[in-house]
Amino acid sequence: MLEPGRNCWRIERAGRASLIVDADDYFRLARQAMLWAKSQIIMIGWDFDTRIPLARGEGDEAPTELGAFISWLPKKTPGLQIYILKWDFGAVALLGRGTTAFRIARWAASENIHFKLDGAHATGASHHQKILVIDDKLAFCGGIDMTAERWDTRGHLDDDPGRKRPTTHRRYDPWHDATMAVDGNAARALGQLSRQRWEIAGGDPIPAPNARAAAWPKALKPMFREVEVAISRTRGAHAEIKPVREIEALFLDQIRSARRWLYAENQYFASRTIAQAIIERLGEPDCPEFVIVNPTTGRGWLDDEVMSPARARLLQAVRRADRHKRFRIYSPVTAGGEDIYVHAKILIVDDRIIRVGSANLNNRSMGLDSECDLTIDTALTANRQAGPAIGAMLHDLLGEHLGEDPSAVRQEIETRGSLIAAIEALAGQGRTLMPFNPVEPNAIERKLADNEMLDPESAGEEFEQIARPGLLARLRA
């Protein structure tokens, strides 16, 4: 299935790889790894907030707040070069973040810290990759930004005192997210991708690091060893930069390859291409099960007025096609019944494929925004032994959402032979997965969703007739 140049950029070996769930673990592990950096750190993200704490009660001499920590690192390790690339949208908002403007000014005066805003995108596009690379020896790639309102534990407790915004200490809702850590040649490839992105954004070329020491955190247990990792990208056309649609191609291939089930955690379900591929599978007499975990509601105007209505419209079409009742969409809630916002981008197909990255199941992530996903597929010879670990991750994620031990989830799936039946048997009161039923969009929301103007697949579609009509366009016809 994996074909470099079509549905992935490269396939590279990782000596170690591991899924990291939720920002409490990720922030702490990333900080531990950066303490070992010798030559180069590259941080690429949709957003950064210098005020957030990366660790709580670590007991070492290093600062815990992101901004102070980054400023401190070159003092600890002379010669260390740090590069931070952030999407340029909302740059003015940085000035309103307390000490952030002063921190960035100090970075600008430093010879070791380089901060840049990335505006090298087509109109309406965003830089959406979330990558951290340390000495080309270790890399994190997934959906977690080092910014406010991301930190949470896997417990997603009601009224967790740590879940507050910096400075204002305003409470925010529970947040579920994920990233993946890789080392070896896979980390080196992500370093090359990040340096390319820095140059595309207008930065001077960054030399490859020459560090020898590994930076894998001691507290992070590898889930995989000696596996091949596929790196897939989305990149919208801009100036002389050609478009890349590897992520979309791989999503479609993985949907078509599912045998028993496909499990996805994602912020959205708004891609007409993805919905169409699922509908085609649901028409088969012995089709696989499809389980999607989504947040109940969106965050902000774009979500409420565009993504949520599009999800409602697509779900109508999918459910009409689901003659065998093999499709479900759920939303997680806390023990007290509070919604948990799902920001993770995870895909698990049977016990064969795990995919983690930044790409959402919306049109933008298929062809407009910059995205990066990592895939471990047991079809590759080196990955033949990865199946049990992939299955264990599915049980672990569902255990988190259902408030159950992963062993109980595994037993229920084995007994019933159905992912959907197991979830519905374990779902109940308190911490659980709730069936999602969308609010019917009004006339204006339906028009926005059907026209797909604010969730385009490529540059120019906000203002032009869609060149590649998808599911909704055909439904209208």
Question: Does residue 252 share a domain with residue 219?
Answer: no
The pLDDT of residue 453 is above 90: no
- Structural domain includes residue 208: yes
Nearest to 258 by CA among 274, 281, 237, 234: 281
Among 184, 209, 225, the domain boundary falls at 225
- Structural domain includes residue 3: no
Q: 32: part of which helix (H) or strand (E)?
A: helix 23-34
- Structural domain includes residue 5: no
- Structural domain includes residue 2: no
Residue of higher predicted confidence among 10 and 102: 10
Q: What is the mean pLDDT of the chain?
A: 89
Question: Does residue 281 share a domain with residue 210?
Answer: no
| CATH classification at residue 312 | 3.30.870.10
The pLDDT of residue 476 is above 50: no
Question: Does residue 291 share a domain with residue 215?
Answer: no
384: which DSSP letter? Answer: G
Question: Does residue 239 share a domain with residue 147?
Answer: no
Among 207, 225, 243, the domain boundary falls at 225
Question: Does residue 320 share a domain with residue 208?
Answer: no
Question: Does residue 430 share a domain with residue 383?
Answer: yes
Count of the separate structural domains present in the chain: 2
The residue range of the domain holding 437 is: 231-476
The pLDDT of residue 87 is above 60: yes
Among 202, 225, 248, the domain boundary falls at 225
- Structural domain includes residue 295: yes
Can you tell me the mean pLDDT for 324-338?
Answer: 97
Question: Does residue 236 share a domain with residue 199?
Answer: no
The pLDDT of residue 473 is above 70: no
Question: Does residue 306 share a domain with residue 178?
Answer: no
Q: Cβ(391)–Cβ(351) under 8 Å?
A: yes
Question: Does residue 400 share a domain with residue 266?
Answer: yes
The pLDDT of residue 475 is above 60: no
HSE-CB at 330 with a 13 A cutoff on CA atoms is 22
Contacts of 254 (CB under 8 A, 6+ apart): 1, 262, 347, 349, 353, 355
Share above pLDDT 90 across residues of the chain, in percent, rounded to a whole number = 74
441: which DSSP letter? Answer: P
Question: Does residue 268 share a domain with residue 219?
Answer: no
| Amino acid 460: pLDDT | 45
- Token pair, residue 187, equals 């980390």
- Structural domain includes residue 108: yes
- Structural domain includes residue 313: yes
C-alpha span between 169 and 157 (Å, rounded): 17
Question: Does residue 204 share a domain with residue 243?
Answer: no
- Structural domain includes residue 6: no
Question: Does residue 257 share a domain with residue 235?
Answer: yes
